[in-house]
Amino acid sequence: MKTKFVFVTGGVLSSLGKGLAAASIGALLKARGLKVTIQKLDPYINVDPGTMNPFQHGEVYVTEDGAETDLDLGHYERYLVQPMAQINNFTSGRIYHSVITKERRGDYLGGTVQVIPHITDEIKEAIKSVARNNEDVAIIEIGGTVGDIEGLPFLEAIRQLRGELGKENVLYIHLTLVPFIKAAGELKTKPTQHSVKELRSIGIQADILLCRSEVDLAQDIKSKIALFCNVDPDAVFTAKDVHSIYELPMALYEEGLDQKIAIMLKLPAKNPNLETWKGIVHRLYHPKGKVSIAIVGKYVDLKESYKSLHEALIHAGLENELEVNLKYVNSENISSENISSHLQELQGILVPGGFGSRGVEGKIQAIQYAREKGIPFFGICLGMQCAVIEFARNVIGFNSANSQEFDPGTKHPVIYLMKEWFDFRKNILQKRCEQSDKGGTMRLGAYPCVIIPNTLAGKAYQKDQVMERHRHRFEFNKKYALDFEEKGLIFSGLSPDESLVEIVELKDHPWFLGCQFHPEFQSNPMHAHPLFREFVLAAGKMH
Ligand code: GLN
């Protein structure tokens, strides 16, 4: 059977949860025994989000193959429980870059290069390339909102694909908003009508409408929308606001959305097995206890910057049957005078990844507080580097210890740019991310890590070796390894050749661990990541 394509577009306004809707549809179709893949097309001109400011764009999600991608890919992995890769995310910038490279190479034989057909052809190739393993369904989410100038080439490409792939192989789902106007006590369908009309003016007739709403849409409203928007009367679905994002697959299933998709595309779908999703929802509502955890970072004003981290903590809560409450603390506001007021009544402290020196000293103080007061601590990437600096300064006595990132001339560069590795890495990374000039020096993607038994890491993973994803330039400086070991820091995760320290931890502490990689990218609601699971478990014992 040929792969069938489901295109998900959005109308009226942004942030309606298109990514989550696409991911939930994927999860439901997968639960029906279908082989599913999913892709995000982003209309912005950046080649990838790697260089974008987390304050503006939110998290950069890193895939196994080292691609820096949109955070929706994180949702895809968490809902579908299958790894995403570079091929699952294209931006306009990447499409244009590829077309311009071809033009410079002379591939177009002197022809005039235009949006139609050259850009649209490139987009169609990108879309078709994602279904490379005989998937039954490929779900393609188009970023942005219908009506944006930037999104037009993508919409034109998916319009053309219906003709090319055949009507029976293509389905358009449009997500809109049906606002409830309190003063009138009424649901308003006009924005949806306009948005569908806008889409039609580009030549796309939506097949299914998914209407985001505060309340369930009654049948008469659905019929009215169907009539005005020219869709089947049973092709209008409510996407009701949910308390937790993990309720969405069940909510859409109860609406009958996946069944309608299966019927319209004539998919060989079985009855879905939704036990796992039901279990997740049950556990969400029946925790046996509570735990409060501080995330001490710099990007706390835009929670999207810590998306995967936030979710990984929720997953760890689900597995430990604990409700996890998160308190985001801006590390720039932490001082020795006010630290206890920021961190009191919290059972765990997490310092996440980050770039640049802003707020670093506050993070180091929070780590000292966790270490000295015996509060479970989890440091991720920059968080681990800060834990190393804190230990060097306050336990070993290297008062000016620092990372070369923040003080290039520091006397004790305990975190440094590893020259030999840097060159080697530049070589392999140039191949891995040909288009990324700035990101070309980062260690990106999955690398093996050997786990030392009888450590916190060993207990968590129960494995000798794991693969974990990286996104950083600096490393622990092994020149100082003995100084650290003598004072009790344990290296519990190393690269197979032992040149790189991947995990550090402390004995004689309830739970204190830092890792150079980003475990949050591999957590999902079915299986919390082992390190998050153990961290939250330790925090839960602090009451
Ligand atoms: N800035 C640090 C580095 O480049 C840490 C990066 C991170 O936390 N992702 O090594």
Instruction: Tell how far the Cα of 416 is from the centroid of ligand 1, in angstroms.
Output: 11
Q: Is 470 in the pocket of ligand 1 (CB under 6 A)?
A: no
Q: Which of 350, 347, 295, 288 is nearest to 322 (CA)?
A: 288
Is 310 annotated in the active site? no
CATH topology of domain 288-416+474-540: Rossmann fold (3.40.50)
- Sign (positive/negative) of CA torsion 490, 496, 497, 500? negative
Mean pLDDT of successive 10-residue segments in the chain (543 residues)? 94 89 98 97 90 79 94 96 96 96 93 95 97 96 94 97 96 96 90 96 97 94 96 95 95 97 94 95 95 90 86 97 94 89 91 92 96 97 98 97 95 88 61 48 93 97 97 95 96 95 96 98 97 97 86
Ligand 1, atom 8, residue with closest C-alpha = 353
Enumerate the CATH 3.40.50.300 domain ranges in the chain, comma separated: 4-43+96-280
CB within 8 Å of 16: residues ≥ 6 apart: 10, 175, 176, 177, 212, 239
Helices 92-105/120-129 angle, 10° precision: 110
Its CATH class, for the domain covering 4-43+96-280, is: alpha beta
- How far is Cα 358 from Cα 83, in angstroms, rounded to an integer? 33
| Ordered DSSP codes for 295-329 | EEES-TTSGGGGHHHHHHHHHHHHHHTEEEEEEEE
What pLDDT, on the 0 to 100 scale, is given for residue 439?
45
Q: Which atom belonging to ligand 1 lies closest to the Cα atom of 442?
A: 4
Pairing of β 348-351 and β 289-297: parallel
Is 518 annotated in the active site? yes
- Sign (positive/negative) of CA torsion 151, 153, 156, 162? negative
- How far is Cα 194 from Cα 172, in angstroms, rounded to an integer? 16
Q: Which atom belonging to ligand 1 lies closest to the Cα atom of 353?
A: 8
Instruction: Tell how far the Cα of 474 is from the centroid of ligand 1, in angstroms.
Output: 6
What pLDDT, on the 0 to 100 scale, is given for residue 438?
47
What pLDDT, on the 0 to 100 scale, is given for residue 436?
44
Helix, strand, or coil here: 17?
coil
The best mutation among 305, 444, 472, 475 to test binding of ligand 1, ranked by most ligand atoms within 8 Å of the C-beta, falls on 472
Q: Is 68 in the pocket of ligand 1 (CB under 6 A)?
A: no
Instruction: Tell how far the Cα of 509 is from the centroid of ligand 1, in angstroms.
Output: 25
Q: Which atom belonging to ligand 1 lies closest to the Cα atom of 474?
A: 10
CB within 8 Å of 316: residues ≥ 6 apart: 324, 523, 528, 529, 532, 533, 535, 536, 537
pTM for the structure as a whole: 0.93
What pLDDT, on the 0 to 100 scale, is given for residue 56?
74
Residue 363, classified by CB atoms within 10 Å of its CB into exposed (0-12), middle (13-18) or buried (19+), is buried
The best mutation among 59, 309, 360, 381 to test binding of ligand 1, ranked by most ligand atoms within 8 Å of the C-beta, falls on 381
Whether the link from the prior residue into 83 is cis, omega within 30° of 0, is no
Instruction: Tell how far the Cα of 352 is from the centroid of ligand 1, in angstroms.
Output: 10
Alpha carbon of residue 269 to chain centroid: 28
What pLDDT, on the 0 to 100 scale, is given for residue 420?
65
Angle, vertex CA 315, rays to CA 371 and CA 364, nearest 5: 25
Q: Which atom belonging to ligand 1 lies closest to the Cα atom of 471?
A: 9
Is 412 annotated in the active site? no
The best mutation among 378, 429, 468, 471 to test binding of ligand 1, ranked by most ligand atoms within 8 Å of the C-beta, falls on 471
The best mutation among 474, 477, 520, 521 to test binding of ligand 1, ranked by most ligand atoms within 8 Å of the C-beta, falls on 474
Q: Which of 439, 455, 536 is nearest to 501 (CA)?
A: 455
Instruction: Tell how far the Cα of 355 is from the centroid of ligand 1, in angstroms.
Output: 5
Instruction: Tell how far the Cα of 475 is from the centroid of ligand 1, in angstroms.
Output: 9
The b-or-e profile of 188-208 (16+ CB within 10 A means b, else e) is: ebebbbbbbebbeeeebebbb
Enumerate the CATH 3.40.50.880 domain ranges in the chain, comma separated: 288-416+474-540
Residue 461 vs residues 103, 267, 375, 453, 454: alpha-carbon distances, Å: 49, 39, 21, 9, 11
- How far is Cα 171 from Cα 165, in angstroms, rounded to an integer? 11
Residue with tokens 């786990």: 451
What pLDDT, on the 0 to 100 scale, is given for residue 521?
97
326 within 8 A of 293, measured Cβ to Cβ: yes
Ligand 1, atom 1, residue with closest C-alpha = 355
What pLDDT, on the 0 to 100 scale, is given for residue 431?
53
Residue 260 vs residues 6, 34, 173, 237, 282: alpha-carbon distances, Å: 12, 15, 11, 10, 26
- How far is Cα 443 from Cα 428, in angstroms, rounded to an integer? 10
